[in-house]
Amino acid sequence: MAKPTGARCNLNCAYCFFLKKETLYPGDHFRMSDDLMERYIRQTIEAHSTPEVVIAWQGGEPTLMGLDFFRRSIEVEKKYLRPGMEIQNTLQTNGTLLDDEWCEFLQENKFLVGLSMDGPRELHDRYRVDKAGRPTFGRVLNAVRLLQKHKVDFNILCTVNAANGDHPREVYRFFRDELGAEYLQFIPVVERVSERGFQEGHEVTDRSVRPEQYGRFLIDIFDEWVRRDVGRMFVQQFDGTLMAWLRGHSSLCIFQRTCGEGVALEHNGDIYSCDHFVEPEYLLGNICDKPMIELVGSETQRRFGQHKADLTRQCRECLVCFACNGDCPKHRFTKSADGDEGLSYLCPGLKMFFEHVNHPMQIMASLLRQGRLTEGVMQVLSQEEAVTSKVGRNDPCPCGSGRKYKRCHGSPKYGLNPVGKLG
């Protein structure tokens, strides 16, 4: 992903770890030149042997570059695109600078927009404020309506933090019922106390979501989603998790065994191992000195990605490891039960979530293997619940397993199997 304004942004969200990164480039104007933009797009297209190329713009706030920069980027894409290739442009934004002209451009060029919003007004405005400390909810809501008016594809990126973490259904229903959004991501705020905004230290700020709070947040939303919204609402974490049950590995980098394919390009051409590790130690080089493909394929980056597979014993022996893989390295700053360093801060919440979703995930994976739609899970669960509402914990389970009900659907350890059959 490319950050044309680096860490520069027109907002001042209290939990933002990007803003402190401005100190990495003292005195800089944080503006990608047209030459560098062309180099980035050309190198990205040249590096692809697949027909689909993704050009991802992120921030800071990329719309601060102005619309003309992005108009020129489309011209550059057309110049280098080879026959048969297609480009998907994506833009992650806080939405506050979008207007009709922007949205017409985004629609015309089929951009996929990620919009940051933390829920209804009071919850959103708790941390998402501008440089003058003013709330931003109204401006972001306006952006949603503009995107909808111009039929621009967008998804909502909602951070889960100490303030909205206790209101999962309120947040979910707001996005679904009031906003009319269909694609959601719930990203945990795990903000370490560091003056430099680096991944260092063991303490988190009081804005950070607590581990169990995050687990309960996901579980509450999952329980509502899996009973009424499958096939019409799309939650990135749930889709990614389903892949773990279906194929044995999640589609999200944080839950994969290794990582390292999502490098971050700064405004001046510097490439870092990941957007969460824009720190001198993780600087791979500059695309003006070396082609991007060499930096991405470098031994340093390979080691960065492989390092994710080093797990504590607690993780290696964990029943949900196939789905979690120890979480993202940026969260691994607590000790395991055996005293090993490197357990995810979010572990208790993630474990709760993965164990909780086991049974419905098995049903959905089974449906997909039979060539059926995941929507069928809603009917299966409702039939099961109608039957089991009459069954005591010590009665035989109505699923026919021969186990007592409490040992079957009542036990979180039952049937955890990435490629298992419907339990």
Catalytic amino acids? 275
Give the binding-site size for ligand SF4 (rule: CB under 6 A): 35
Asked whether 4 and 61 are in contact (CB, 8 A), the reply is no
Q: Strands 52-57 and 234-235: what pairing?
A: unpaired
Stretch that binds ligand SF4, among 27-35, 74-82, 320-328, 410-418 (CB under 6 A): 320-328
Q: What are phi and psi of 332, to 5 degrees?
A: -90, 75
- Residue closer to ligand SF4 (CB basis): 44 or 344: 344
- Residue closer to ligand SF4 (CB basis): 267 or 351: 351
- For residue 143, state whether it binds ligand SF4 (rule: CB under 6 A): no
- Residue closer to ligand SF4 (CB basis): 112 or 319: 319
Sign of CA dihedral 221, 123, 89, 148: positive
d(CA 102, CA 116): 17
Least distance to ligand SF4 from the beta carbon of 207, Å? 12
What is the per-residue burial (b if ≥16 Cβ within 10 Å, else e) of 92-103? bbbbbbbeeebb
- For residue 296, state whether it binds ligand SF4 (rule: CB under 6 A): no
- For residue 250, state whether it binds ligand SF4 (rule: CB under 6 A): no
- For residue 318, state whether it binds ligand SF4 (rule: CB under 6 A): yes
List C-alpha distances in Å: 135 to 138, 142, 185, 188, 345. 8, 13, 22, 21, 30
Considering only 24, 158, 274, 365, the residue that binds ligand SF4 (CB under 6 A) is: 274
d(CA 139, CA 312): 44
| Footprint of ligand SF4 on 89-108 (CB under 6 A) | 94
- For residue 9, state whether it binds ligand SF4 (rule: CB under 6 A): yes
Q: Which of 378, 350, 352 is nearest to 363 (CA)?
A: 378
Residues that bind ligand SF4 (CB under 6 A): 9, 11-13, 16, 18-19, 59-61, 94, 116, 253-254, 259, 262, 274, 276, 308, 314-315, 318, 320-321, 324, 326-330, 343-344, 347, 350-351
